Amino acid sequence: MVAREPRRRGRRLGGDDGFVTAEAAMVLPVLVLFAMALVWALLAACAQIQCVDAARIGARAAARQDPPGAALAAARRAAPDGAEVKVGREGDHVRVTVSARSPGPGRLGLDLRHEAVALAEETVGVSGG
């Protein structure tokens, strides 16, 4: 006669009971951090796009010979909050630089910068000699 192991009803020997909960407890914080990183990257990309748009708007306004204050104001309206806008002229070209800090906790903020250059309209069609 061979001895039989006792049978447990409804449960297998060596089952996985409780492991799914433990695995979920380990993975959930990683998923939350990953989602936060995606949101941070999206905010940084949006701020960079705003810097690009602001520099282009300012360069177009300055190239049209708008008053310097108007070109600066147009660029500031399109720039992210707290951005630094510089408008300058170098020969026949106007140069607008927009610098900003991307949103992010503590040291995770990025320094964003974009520069746009445009040919001043008054110089278009003028020959050099």
Q: How far apart are the first and last CA of the chain?
A: 116
Residue type, 62: A
Q: Is residue 23 part of a domain?
A: no
CA atoms within 13 A on the CB side of 128: 2
Two tokens, residue 79: 């720039």
Whether residue 34 is contained in a domain is answered as no
**pTM exceeds 0.95:** no
Quote the number of domains for the chain: 1
With tokens 């000699």, the residue in question is 129
Q: Model confidence over 75-129: pLDDT tens digits?
A: 999 999 999 999 999 989 999 999 999 887 778 888 999 999 999 888 766 665 5
What is the domain extent for residue 83?
50-124
**Per-residue pLDDT, 73:** 95
Token pair listed for 90: 């170098």
Instruction: Note whether residue 70 is domain-resident.
Output: yes
**CB contact at 8 A, 87 and 75:** yes
Do 102 and 110 touch, CB atoms closer than 8 A? yes
Please check whether residue 31 lies inside any domain of the structure: no
